[in-house]
Amino acid sequence: MVTNLTDVNFKQEVLESELPCLVDFWAVWCGPCMMVSPIVEEIATEYAGKLKVCKINVDESPVTSSNYGIMAIPTLMIFYKGKEVERIVGVVPKEQIINKLKPYLEEAKKEE
């Protein structure tokens, strides 16, 4: 399941999350964002219960986008323990996203 974020719920959903978070910064008019979206959905399904997957529309949530210096979309950010730990800009293969996520998923599993 993918959680839709806004400027209002970003802190609660991402920064206060017990699980590692993958956040997709996107926009409706962004072609490359539409290419990344199915990959993000697949990751959400495959890692349900281990990873929180969220999407935030940069046009509807300008404060959060500005706070994190989003200059290009799609931008995928990984948050762990309330901090940004990885950033992927542009369209990349699913394996590359998974490889960036793995250390945080393993760390979270150890802490269970």
Annotated active-site residue in 5, 21, 30, 97? 30
Gyration radius of the chain's alpha carbons: 13
Strands (E), the chain: 2-5, 21-26, 52-57, 75-80, 83-89
Query: Is 54 tagged catalytic?
Result: no
Show the DSSP H helices in 19-93 as ranges.
Answer: 31-46, 62-67
| Rounded Cα gap, residues 67 and 45, in angstroms | 28
Annotated active-site residue in 14, 21, 33, 40? 33
Query: Is 21 tagged catalytic?
Result: no
Residues with catalytic function: 30, 33
